[in-house]
């Protein structure tokens, strides 16, 4: 096997868009977006979210893909190649570390999805006389230690297996057929949710902005969620870009990925938030929100059980195409920089991630201590998924934007984007957003949040 075969490459341009959309579309859209929107005021959050996608996410995505294609490396290698011997390499290390930790807690939620697939198939939601019992069912489920640990381990192993099989075979095949199908099911689900009696209050919450609810926390949440959902700030798109060919049009591909990803998230909101209102659940319910809302929508649909099986299966697969892309970052780092074999890299990363995932899995009721940490007053899952999630991704994106805009420089990046005569139509807009808008906004949001937390 030659070195380039060991790294792999995309089969086609559409294959790349689908695979990156597969990375971007995942639990971030379907599980996290609705509950974060629910906690942060609904429609105002959505509005700020869209602005963040356009002015921060889209430009950073172009930057990451370009870095990756130019260097054909993982984040650490990419930065080392372009800025040898400088401290910039720590940005790459932050990416790898963030990848590890996100992978570990993300698999906990993916495990819940698998558990709910089983529960739906076994008919646990067949006769819900009172839709609010879904709340009790979720609490009992998430606080059973062995079940959640087993399901997490299952999902980590599944991801490890796919990543071990390599880039093309594993990732592309899945995304190609199943993402469009997920879209169809979500549309049906949204239609049912919106037409439930009592759903209109939820629609108002989701669509009519109440500007008095804007504060720095809403802005931070929207920014972090946009980066998380688009798979930015930890080098996933650097790694994916490294498998792109020079013929591909990076800005157009990035625009497609942003559009698909945002569309799915907005759609998930239309399915969940009206149902929350109709079922009398709380918008600010937290990470359990979709697991409580979804089964009650199935209960109100003809053939709901089959629909539920299909939906949880597709959410599970969407999660898998995302976990694969997260794991790919530390694995590509070890294969490229440490010259490990792929198999060893996968085994080691998965084992470490499993150890890290145990406390995250036990933080939703199984362990009294982890579910309500002293001093912080929050559960371990929320703490770790915020730190290694919105916060570290925003820091990562900030440095990636500064690196590409100022250190590597926009003109070199443009050369890369325009190789093989690709026209970069929005070149000037990108120049301005990557050099100024994205880094300045992220910095201001951080300073303000910091000020607010400690002196506010």
Token digits of residue 288: 């359990």
For position 234 contacting ligand TRP by CB under 6 A, the verdict is yes
Min. distance of Cβ 237 from ligand TRP in angstroms? 8
Token digits of residue 315: 């959410």
Q: Are 438 and 60 in contact (CB under 8 A)?
A: yes
Binding piece for ligand TRP, criterion CB under 6 A, among 206-214, 303-311, 318-326, 419-427: 318-326
Phi, psi of 151 (to 5 degrees): -65, -40
Judged by beta carbon, residue 28 or residue 365, the one nearer ligand TRP is 28
Residues 174-203 that bind ligand TRP (CB under 6 A): none
What is the spatial distance between Cα 369 and Cα 383, in angstroms, rounded to a whole number? 13
For position 29 contacting ligand TRP by CB under 6 A, the verdict is yes
Other Cβ atoms within 10 Å of 289 Cβ, number: 26
Judged by beta carbon, residue 17 or residue 194, the one nearer ligand TRP is 17
Q: How many residues bind ligand TRP (CB under 6 A)?
A: 16
Q: Are 431 and 409 in contact (CB under 8 A)?
A: no
Burial 209-244 (b: 16+ CB within 10 A, else e): beeeebebebbbbbbbbbbbbbbbbbbbbbbbbbbb
Q: Are 42 and 327 in contact (CB under 8 A)?
A: no
Q: Are 315 and 113 in contact (CB under 8 A)?
A: yes
Judged by beta carbon, residue 199 or residue 264, the one nearer ligand TRP is 264
Binding piece for ligand TRP, criterion CB under 6 A, among 21-29, 47-55, 344-352, 433-441: 21-29
For position 349 contacting ligand TRP by CB under 6 A, the verdict is no
What is the spatial distance between Cα 9 and Cα 242, in angstroms, rounded to a whole number? 8
For position 28 contacting ligand TRP by CB under 6 A, the verdict is yes
What is the spatial distance between Cα 203 and Cα 276, in angstroms, rounded to a whole number? 10
Binding piece for ligand TRP, criterion CB under 6 A, among 22-30, 165-173, 304-312, 441-449: 22-30
For position 228 contacting ligand TRP by CB under 6 A, the verdict is yes
What is the spatial distance between Cα 13 and Cα 313, in angstroms, rounded to a whole number? 27
Binding piece for ligand TRP, criterion CB under 6 A, among 61-69, 227-235, 372-380, 409-417: 227-235
For position 325 contacting ligand TRP by CB under 6 A, the verdict is yes
For position 104 contacting ligand TRP by CB under 6 A, the verdict is no
Binding site for ligand TRP (CB under 6 A): 23-24, 26-29, 102, 228-229, 231, 234, 236, 322, 325-326, 393
């Amino acid at each position: 096997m030659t070195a380039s075969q060991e790294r792999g490459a995309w089969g086609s341009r559409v294959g790349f868009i689908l695979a990156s959309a597969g990375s971007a579309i995942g639990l971030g859209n379907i599980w996290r977006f609705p509950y974060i929107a629910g906690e942060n005021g609904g429609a105002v959050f959505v509005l700020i979210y869209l602005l963040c996608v356009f002015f921060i996410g889209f430009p950073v995505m172009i930057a990451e893909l370009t870095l990756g294609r130019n260097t054909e490396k993982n984040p650490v290698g990419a930065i080392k190649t372009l800025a040898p011997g400088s401290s910039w390499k720590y940005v790459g290390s932050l990416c790898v570390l963030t990848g590890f930790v996100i992978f570990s807690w993300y698999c906990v939620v993916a495990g819940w999805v698998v558990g709910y697939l089983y529960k739906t198939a076994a008919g646990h939601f067949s006769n819900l006389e009172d839709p609010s019992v879904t709340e009790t069912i979720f609490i009992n489920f998430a606080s059973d230690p062995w079940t959640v640990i087993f399901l997490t381990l299952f999902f980590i192993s599944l991801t490890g297996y796919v990543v071990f099989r390599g880039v093309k075979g594993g990732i592309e095949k899945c995304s190609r057929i199943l993402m469009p199908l997920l879209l169809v099911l979500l549309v049906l689900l949204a239609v049912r949710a919106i037409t439930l009696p009592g759903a209109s209050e939820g629609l108002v919450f989701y669509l009519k902005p109440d500007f008095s609810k804007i504060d720095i926390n809403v802005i931070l949440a929207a920014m972090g969620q946009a980066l998380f959902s688009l798979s930015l700030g930890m080098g996933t798109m650097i790694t994916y870009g490294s498998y792109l060919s020079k013929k591909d049009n990076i800005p157009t591909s990035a625009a497609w990925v942003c559009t698909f990803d945002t569309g799915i998230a907005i759609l998930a909101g239309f399915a969940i938030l009206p149902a929350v209102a109709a079922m009398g659940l709380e918008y600010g319910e937290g990470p359990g929100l979709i697991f409580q809302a979804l089964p009650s929508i199935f209960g109100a649909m003809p053939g709901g059980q089959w629909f539920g099986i299909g939906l949880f299966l597709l959410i599970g697969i969407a999660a898998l195409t995302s976990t694969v892309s997260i794991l790919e970052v530390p694995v590509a780092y070890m294969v490229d920089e440490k010259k490990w074999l792929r198999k060893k890299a996968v085994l080691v990363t998965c084992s470490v991630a499993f150890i890290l995932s145990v406390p995250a899995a036990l933080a939703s009721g199984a362990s009294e201590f982890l579910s309500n940490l002293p001093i912080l007053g929050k559960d371990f899952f929320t703490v770790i998924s915020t730190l290694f999630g919105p916060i570290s991704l925003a820091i990562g994106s900030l440095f990636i934007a500064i690196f590409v805009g100022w250190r590597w420089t926009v003109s070199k990046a443009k050369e890369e984007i325009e190789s093989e005569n690709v026209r970069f139509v929005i070149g000037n807009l990108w120049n301005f957003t990557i050099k100024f808008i994205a880094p300045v906004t992220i910095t201001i949001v951080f300073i303000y949040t910091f000020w607010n937390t400690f002196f506010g």
